[in-house]
Chain A
Amino acid sequence: DQERAAHDEL
């Protein structure tokens, strides 16, 4: 399953 994209914004 697609690795949950960590929130990359501040």
Chain B
Amino acid sequence: MNIFRLAGDMTHLMSVLVLLLKIHTIKSCAGISLKTQELYALVFATRYLDIFTDFISVYNTIMKLIFLGSSFSIVWYMRRHKLVRRSYDKEQDTFRHFFLVLPCLLLALVMNEKFTFKEVMWAFSLYLEAVAILPQLVLLQRTKNIDNLTGQYVFLLGAYRAFYIFNWIYRYFTEPHYVHWITWISGLVQTLLYADFFYYYFNSWKNNVKLHLPA
């Protein structure tokens, strides 16, 4: 464990807590893409298949349970909770996330570290996580005024993977044989997808104006 990875995990945890806070306290999911939340639930489900077979550490297991539990409960809230689901913007959240899942699955079947079920699922979860934010970014561009919690949620979600990139650089130089091209390239693509969001988020913070993404 290094400081970059810990910072990344804590930032990721905060993004989830901000979203749960928003949904649980003000019973609203306005501006949140259900498609992205479903993709994230799938990402964790396919990435943490080994949660009960490969014990890494208590920390690792607890964090996996938190991410699995929170992502599925957010999907449940947005689909089932009578108050929350009313604030879900069904008409605007129209990204066909199936067209993200299929290419990631095909790519994982071709590009993986080892052609086993677990490794293919691992690669699939990395490719899918890289593009999972797209429905949310599209929804943000359609949503006229983005509320602070939603902006903070997306910002933290992007920042966590940026910390992971520093973690991979650190581990590459400190651990022999630590090479995971699939993870590195997926993580880099994922962070780059946030680039323009970061740009507008930083500007709105600097000029102290409401965050607004150009259509």
The DSSP consensus for interface residues of chain B is helix
Chain A at the B interface: SS class:
loop
Contacts of B63 in A (CB 8 A): 10
A10 to B199, CA, bound (A): 27
Chain A residues near B64: list those with CB within 8 A. Answer: 10
18 of the cross-chain contacts (CB-CB < 8 Å) are A4-B114, A6-B50, A6-B54, A6-B56, A7-B50, A7-B122, A8-B56, A8-B60, A9-B5, A9-B164, A9-B167, A9-B183, A10-B9, A10-B12, A10-B60, A10-B63, A10-B64, A10-B67
Q: Which residue of A lies closest to B48 (CB)?
A: A10
* Cβ distance A6 to chain B, nearest Cβ, rounded Å: 4
Q: Interface size of A by Cβ–Cβ distance < 8 Å?
A: 6
Residues of A within 8 A of B (CB): 4, 6-10
Number of A-B residue pairs with CB-CB distance less than 8 Å in the complex they form: 18
CB proximity of B3 to chain A, nearest CB, Å: 14
Q: Closest 5 interchain pairs by CB? A: A6-B54, A8-B56, A10-B63, A10-B9, A7-B122
Known contacts A6-B56, A9-B183, A10-B67; 14 further A-B pairs (Cβ under 8 A): A4-B114, A6-B50, A6-B54, A7-B50, A7-B122, A8-B56, A8-B60, A9-B5, A9-B164, A9-B167, A10-B12, A10-B60, A10-B63, A10-B64
Interface centre among A4, A7, A8 (most CB of B within 10 A): A7
